[in-house]
Amino acid sequence: MVAKVKKICGEKVGHTGTLDPEATGVLPVCIGRATKIIDYIMNSEKVYEVNALGPKYIAEACKEIGAKMVYISTDYVFDGKGAIPFETTDPKKGLSVYGKTKSQGEDFVTSMLDKYFIVRISWVFGKNGNNFVKTMI
């Protein structure tokens, strides 16, 4: 998978291992300097490369080998206005560069693949404090 993504995007590509050592078929892939996210957040072109083009390249590789894709997205694809929870079918109206580019990433995935999962989370993962993983487990 890593070789396929590298061939498609022409960037440095690596994997971060699996989330569960007993898991099969799980391979988180990073493109370019994706682990240095602050550099990307400060530059909207780089944000687009990571949040929109990255998933596009991975979707292309998944399509080529017939793999399912899991794309971790965000609730920032919505404008945050409203009194009830958003539905998956609600129109996306991201207000920030981050929200708009994550939405573009979702659009690439949904337009290119039949087999995918999009998970929208509202908290980041981390060792300290409350976060999505600690709350769900």
User: Which amino acids are annotated catalytic?
Assistant: 98
Q: What is the distance, to the nearest Å, from the Cα of residue 69 to the centroid of all Cα atoms in its chain?
A: 10
Cβ partners under 8 Å of residue 33, min gap 6: 12, 39, 40
Q: What are phi and psi of 89, to 5 degrees?
A: -90, -5
Other Cβ atoms less than 10 A from the Cβ of 49: the count is 20
Q: Are 88 and 119 in contact (CB under 8 A)?
A: no
Question: Pick from 89, 31, 100, 33: which is nearest to 60 by CA?
Answer: 31
The DSSP bridge pattern shows strands 116-121 and 69-74 to be parallel
